Structure 1
């Protein structure tokens, strides 16, 4: 199960809506070994695409250096789907290289009347997708 504060939930959703119709992407870091998302890190979708996201390689290198310096890890890796449900695509599964992370997908298809808003979380380990419950709390 993913436990996330209302503030972090709202920030992920706001980023997804702000970048619509392109996919938004980012990370929520937390203290290593805690599985507690704390630090919101919105990233630029270098692909600037409504159907694909890609972290800029320089931004990603900077992020991982920061994570190392702060003894953090990516607890959540998130991105949005702009015209489809919030379910990992084959490409998403291929790029899921953080076995400890929660992969959050936000569907902003409702922005264009193409579907309903969704905020869903998955574990993706060795190509296996497992949806998990999301618990939104006021604070930890």
Structure 2
């Protein structure tokens, strides 16, 4: 499985992450016909640089907006302000949905900024990322 994502969405994720420094940013990625074409920024209730908890009311609102727009949830994303784009021990421990794709955005200069993963019972599988320019 390859995660196909529009370049403008990648740019928006990096911008969201930079606005939230020093804390992690989080949200959903939504797709139409297998192409991630939109992101939904959610509030990190923890306001922490190494942890995030999505606001439940915002999660429900984002899901409703996706349904109304004919989009599907493609991934959960969050940023790592000071570490590479790979799942931390906590990310692995808290990944409860084996069907979900987890996108991690690193704000560390020189690092591969965006990577996608499937996480199932502690096992991490990196997914190829295909960037599509509209």
User: What range describes the TM-score normalised by the shorter chain of this pair?
Assistant: 0.7 to 0.9
2:63 is equivalent to residue 64 of structure 1: yes
State the shift of 1:78 in Å.
0.8
Any idea what the Cα deviations from partners look like across 1:60-90, whole Å, max 9, x if unmatched? 1222333344443310211011121111123
Match of 2:133 in 1: 138
Give the length in aligned residue pairs. Answer: 133
> Which structure 1 segments of 5+ residues have no match?
none
Name the SS of the counterpart of 1:50 in structure 2: coil
Name the SS of the counterpart of 1:135 in structure 2: strand
**What is the 5 A alignment of 1:1-140?**
1-31=2-32, 34-110=33-109, 116=111, 118-139=113-134
TM-score by length of 2: 0.84
TM-score by length of 1: 0.81
Name the SS of the counterpart of 2:114 in structure 1: strand
> Which structure 2 segments of 5+ residues have no match?
none
Any idea what the Cα deviations from partners look like across 1:25-68, whole Å, max 9, x if unmatched? 1111124xx33212221111111111111101211122233334
Supply the RMSD in Å over aligned alpha carbons.
2.1
